[in-house]
């Protein structure tokens, strides 16, 4: 069941990422860098507004996953969280509608391509995602991944390839957001119907708010919400700030770099979505052997299969940007920026395992401490370097903090929780792929392969061969380093 769910989720994410990658060059060339930058701003705003839901969705998923059936607690928790998300949606949408003129004047500085109508449409979409997140969390908790992934693929098809085709026929930024509004409303209705079916509820729930259910999970909700807010600021505050700092064309180039590098986070997301409910069940039922085996094997998979992707894109960043934009100016402007951001995101998907561990055991104390540290150190530095230096300094700062988190914080959490032995986890699950990435990268740079101007076909073949070399080499190294099974190492 777990393998099937992971496979389905990865097919969904793979499809979503693939169509995103395929439509990006078309959107960039059809709409132009300025309009493409507005679409990037829309994505960043969506991420920050989703933070408002971040304490609710993981809690609901955990409550449903831990319950054996459709209990009264599950129903009341869903009703309470749904009511909260509806209220937050109303506040955000109507506030943005009333303040649209000020947003245009002070943030976009009178950019003629964006109008008050576009602002209203944009905030309607992003705020409605709060409600959709509640329904997705309920279906994840029920491990209804087949339906969830099928529905996601359907609506991503409408939002990306279908919408891009319409843009090709009639380029219009306002029409772009109108299509997304229509798809979002339909998605909400269908997902709500599925939740009602899976949890044996009426289709429309009256607005009820159960204080007892919220209070019971208050500590967990606040912990997740706080850490999600800081995490969002850590990952995306620079993107929001640069929408105000950079020239419109430069923000379009920057958006392309961010969109490509964010593919790594997209690749890592299915791991957490599938792992957290299962790890929670295994830990709650005291199945330590199965828990450790799953934790190790999942980390090994991420390191061996996903980490090389980010490393190779970083090596060929200039060629990749040229492939996506057909714009030498954009490729030259964003080469180093893309390299730093995608390496940082590649490291981040491995570091995320300490978060999965803490969520599974139901104790986010260390995660809260970490985010408090980021709040007083990293976030002020983002403001400083963004406003007093430039985007390259911020990109380097982002990479440095993510690398430090991987080297130091992952070890610290393993040590404090005393559930996983960090030395065994690192040497058996991470080190083989890490060594191969360093070896192949060193040889590629030494022979100057990444500096040669390659045709699209030759570039893709070269990257595929290097990827295969890393993965196969990592498997060989893993066999040499793993003389005993991971579980036996942990059991000692």
pLDDT means per 10 residues, the chain with 492 residues, are: 61 72 81 83 75 66 65 72 82 84 76 82 87 82 78 87 89 90 91 82 57 59 65 74 84 87 79 80 84 87 91 94 88 93 93 88 82 86 90 93 92 88 87 92 90 86 93 85 51 44
Distances (CA, A) of 428 to 354, 370, 440: 16, 26, 20
Element (H, E) at 6: helix 2-50
Evaluate whether 228 touches 54 at the Cβ level (below 8 Å).
yes
Neighbours of 201 (CB within 10 A): 17
Q: Residue written as tokens 């009178």? A: 110
First vs last Cα of the chain: how many Å apart? 29
- Return left, alpha or beta for 206; rule: phi > 0 is left, psi -120 to 50 is alpha, else beta: beta
Tell me how far apart the alpha carbons of residues 442 and 56 are, in angstroms, rounded to a whole number: 44
Query: What pLDDT shows up at residue 145?
Result: 75
Query: What pLDDT shows up at residue 196?
Result: 81
Query: What pLDDT shows up at residue 467?
Result: 94
- Say if residue 165 is exposed, middle or buried (CB neighbours under 10 Å; 0-12, 13-18, 19+): exposed
Query: What pLDDT shows up at residue 215?
Result: 59
Query: What pLDDT shows up at residue 214?
Result: 58
């Amino acid at each position: 069941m777990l393998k099937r769910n992971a496979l389905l989720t990865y097919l969904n994410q793979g499809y979503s990422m693939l169509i995103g990658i395929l439509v990006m060059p078309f959107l960039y060339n059809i709409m132009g860098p300025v309009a493409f930058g507005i679409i990037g701003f829309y994505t960043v705003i969506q991420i920050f507004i989703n933070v408002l839901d971040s304490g609710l969705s993981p809690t609901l998923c955990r409550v449903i996953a831990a319950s054996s059936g459709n209990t009264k607690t599950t129903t009341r928790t869903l009703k309470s969280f749904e009511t909260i998300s509806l209220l937050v949606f109303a506040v955000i949408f109507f506030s943005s509608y009333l303040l649209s003129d000020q947003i245009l004047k002070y943030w976009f500085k009178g950019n003629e391509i964006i109008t008050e109508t576009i602002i209203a449409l944009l905030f309607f979409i992003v705020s409605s995602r709060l409600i959709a997140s509640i329904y997705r969390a309920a279906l994840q908790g029920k491990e209804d991944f087949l339906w969830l992934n099928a529905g996601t693929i359907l609506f991503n098809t409408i939002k990306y390839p279908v919408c891009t085709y319409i843009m090709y026929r009639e380029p219009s930024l306002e029409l772009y957001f109108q299509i997304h509004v229509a798809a979002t409303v339909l998605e909400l209705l269908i997902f709500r119907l599925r939740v009602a079916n899976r949890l044996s509820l009426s289709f429309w729930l009256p607005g009820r708010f159960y204080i007892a259910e919220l209070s019971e999970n208050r500590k967990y909700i606040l912990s997740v919400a706080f850490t999600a807010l800081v995490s969002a600021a850590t990952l995306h505050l620079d993107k929001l700030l640069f929408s105000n700092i950079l020239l419109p064309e430069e923000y379009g180039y920057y958006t392309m770099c961010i969109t490509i590098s964010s593919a790594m986070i997209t690749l890592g997301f299915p791991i957490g979505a599938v792992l957290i409910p299962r790890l929670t069940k295994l830990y709650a039922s005291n199945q330590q052997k199965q828990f450790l085996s799953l934790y190790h094997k999942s980390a090994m998979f991420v390191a061996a299969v996903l980490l090389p992707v980010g490393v190779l894109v970083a090596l060929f960043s200039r060629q990749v940007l040229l492939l996506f934009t057909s714009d030498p100016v954009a490729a030259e402007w964003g080469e180093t920026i893309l390299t730093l951001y995608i390496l940082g995101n590649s490291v981040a998907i491995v570091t995320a395992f300490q978060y999965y561990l803490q969520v599974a055991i139901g104790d986010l104390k260390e995660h809260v401490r970490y985010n408090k540290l980021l709040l007083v150190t990293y976030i002020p530095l983002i403001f400083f370097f963004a406003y007093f230096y430039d985007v390259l300094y911020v990109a380097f700062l982002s990479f440095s903090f993510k690398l430090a988190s991987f080297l130091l914080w992952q070890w610290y959490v393993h040590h404090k929780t005393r559930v996983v032995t960090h030395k065994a986890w690192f040497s058996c699950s991470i080190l083989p792929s890490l060594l191969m990435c360093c070896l192949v990268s060193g040889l590629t740079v030494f022979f100057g392969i990444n500096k040669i101007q390659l045709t699209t076909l030759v570039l893709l073949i070269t990257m595929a061969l290097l990827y295969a070399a890393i993965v196969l080499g990592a498997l060989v190294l893993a066999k040499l380093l793993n003389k005993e099974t991971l579980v036996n190492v942990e059991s000692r």
